[in-house]
Amino acid sequence: MIYKKLLNNEKDPNTQLRQRWEADLGEMEDEDWADALTSPREVAIRARYKLIQLKVLHRVYYTPATRLKMGIATTDLCTRGCGERGTFLHILWDCDKVQNYWRQLQEIITEVLGEETTLTPKLCLLNIWEPTDLTRPKRKWLTLAMTIAKRNVARLWGAEQPPRREEWEQDLDWAMLAEKVTYEGRGCPNKWRKIWTEWGTYRGIACMVEEDIE
């Protein structure tokens, strides 16, 4: 009875997590939050990319603001030297230096997809989509592209400089080839081609499969 009472009084961790995100991004519809919670398993086939999204969703990275509150830092200012408070959203999205990085990626993504594509924190960080004309393969490509972009920001979490666009492009090339092996192993290479043809064309990498050659 005591155990049951404790469980009933325990706060739902997902509710607390949602409140933290809503404090940063504004109120969300239940459907949007449900999409955010399922985002780790939607970002890609490979587990390493699912883990990246899981870490971002649950805000596991210590920020300067968090470290100061824990008593293991002397300041809560952003490590990139912008003079702003280093909160989770600031480090990952709002900082001027990292915003320049996201703007560069947005220009490339728009060129690759052939459609004006606006990157928002809800889309890039939580995979919450507004109504869009993008096809499912294009959405799958963009979701993975944004996941790699977040991973590169996390790699330099405490560094002064943000990640570089060139690194993102190279990492996306690697992901394209790694996913090719997976899709071919599953017997559906044409699905891979539909997802990656535009990126391969942009990078000058052939996205042909045996069926196309025949």
127 sits in the region (left: phi over 0; alpha: psi -120 to 50; else beta) called left
Question: What's the structural domain count of the chain?
Answer: 1
Nearest partner of 109 among 148, 81, 82, judged by Cα: 148
Domain that holds residue 28: 2-213
CB 183 within 8 A of CB 191: yes
pLDDT, tens digit (0-9, with 9 covering 90-100), for 153-173: 999 998 999 999 999 999 999
C-alpha separations of 47 from 34, 175, 189 in Å: 20, 12, 20
Polymer length of the chain: 214
pTM here is 0.88
Give 13's contacts (C-beta < 8 A, 6+ positions apart): none
Average pLDDT estimate for 65-89:
94
Contact 128/113 with Cβ under 8 angstroms? no
pLDDT of residue 190: 93
**For residue 209, what pLDDT band results from cuts at 50, 70 and 90?**
very low
CA–CA distance, 78 with 96 (Å, rounded to integer): 11
C-alpha–C-alpha distance, residues 109 and 103, integer Å: 10
pLDDT tier for residue 46 given thresholds of 50, 70 and 90: confident
How far apart are the C-alpha atoms of 6 and 1, rounded to whole Å?
9
- Phi/psi at 85 (nearest 5 deg)? -70, 135
